[in-house]
Structure 1
Amino acid sequence: MNLKRREALRLTAIIGLMAATGLISQAEAAEWNKAAFDAKSLDDVLKSLGGSSADKSSAITINAPDIAENGAVVPVGVTSTLPKTQQMAILVEKNPSALAAQFILTADSEAFVASRVKMGQTSNVHALVKADGKWYVTTKEVKVTLGGCGG
């Protein structure tokens, strides 16, 4: 597992050095998924990521609290048992921008990601997974008792 973590750190460092030395501009590095992060719905995010539809899958698990006492920091984890998982994304349906996080996985990566997301209100959280070229989704409702997006 440490090798995977080291590889991720190495790739992050390489991209940072490329941006710092001008091999790629910061605008190019930031714009690669700007449309996806500006999207307002699951369908719009999916389209921005190059998909047209997503099938529901029980092979994807969302690990998030049923009730979040503070919407400013809601821990969300996604696990996929789908073979050849390539990408994972966490979406919060009722947030101003639906896409909260996007992860691109290498072939050697374990199909698990975790993040903390901000939620302004009770909402469905979607886990969008691309595996073997096809998109899949699962959903979990998370109730928020204290707003996080300006609440």
Structure 2
Amino acid sequence: MKRRLFLKSAMAGSAVATAVGAGLLTPSMVFANTAAFKAKSDAAGASSASAGKGSFKFKAPKIAENGAVVPMTVDASKMDGVTNISFYVKNNGTPLAASFNLSGAQGYVSTRIKMGKTSPVDALVTAGGATTKVSQEVKVTIGGCGG
């Protein structure tokens, strides 16, 4: 059993080393944009986007029983050239909760974000150089009591 684990690890390591050596895997592709996530406001994000109700589907719970894992889904598959999908939580310490850079082929993201308290959540989709936004209020209950 240990031999199998060793072989898997060796193959995975060699694949990563080959990708780095070929320039296919660069640090900018691996690490998140720390400046955006450390920002205390959404000056370059949600406030500058145009309202796009109906241009894409944003699914979030009205009441989240556990603020540590709040499911969010954006389906922008009907939009052409989607390059970014981001989630901003206004009342979080860091408003940018998640950001996904996409190739433009498929505009669909499903994830879970962390929310400290009840807040409006903005889903932003960048497609064709324009950013559109859909907002929804998500109520976070303390202790999961639903009230």
Q: What is the CA-CA distance between 1:61 and the residue it aligns to? A: 2.2
RMSD of aligned alpha carbons:
3.0
**1:135 maps to 2:136:** no
Corresponding residue SS for 2:31: helix
Q: What is the correspondence of 1:13-52 to structure 2 with a 5 Å cutoff?
A: 17-18=19-20, 24-25=26-27, 29-30=30-31, 33-44=33-44, 46=45
Asked if the contact 2:81–2:105 (Cα under 8 Å) also holds between the matched residues in 1, the reply is no
2:105 is paired with a residue of what secondary structure? coil
Q: 1:131 to 1:122 in 2, by over 3 A?
A: same
Inter-partner Cα distance in structure 2 for 1:29 and 1:123 = 30
Report how many aligned residue pairs link the two structures. Answer: 125
Answering whether residue 108 of structure 2 is matched by residue 120 of structure 1, we say no
Question: Larger Cα Rg: Structure 1 or Structure 2?
Answer: 2
Find the aligned partners of 1:108 and 1:17 in 2 and give their Cα distance. 23
CA gap of 1:63–1:106, structure 2 versus 1, over 3 A, is: same
Greater CA drift, 98-107 or 67-76: 98-107
How far apart are 1:16 and its partner, in Å? 10
Structure 1 residue 15 displacement after superposition? 9.6
User: TM-score of the superposition, structure 2-length normalised?
Assistant: 0.72
User: How far 1:91 moved relative to its partner?
Assistant: 1.3
Contact 1:86–1:107 under 8 Å retained in 2: yes
Partner of 1:93 in structure 2?
A: 90
Q: Is the 8 A contact 2:82 2:105 kept in 1?
A: no
In structure 2, list runs of 5 or more residues that go unmatched: 1-14
Alpha-carbon distance in structure 2 between the residues aligned to 1:97 and 1:18: 32
Contact 2:72 2:113 in 1 (8 A): yes
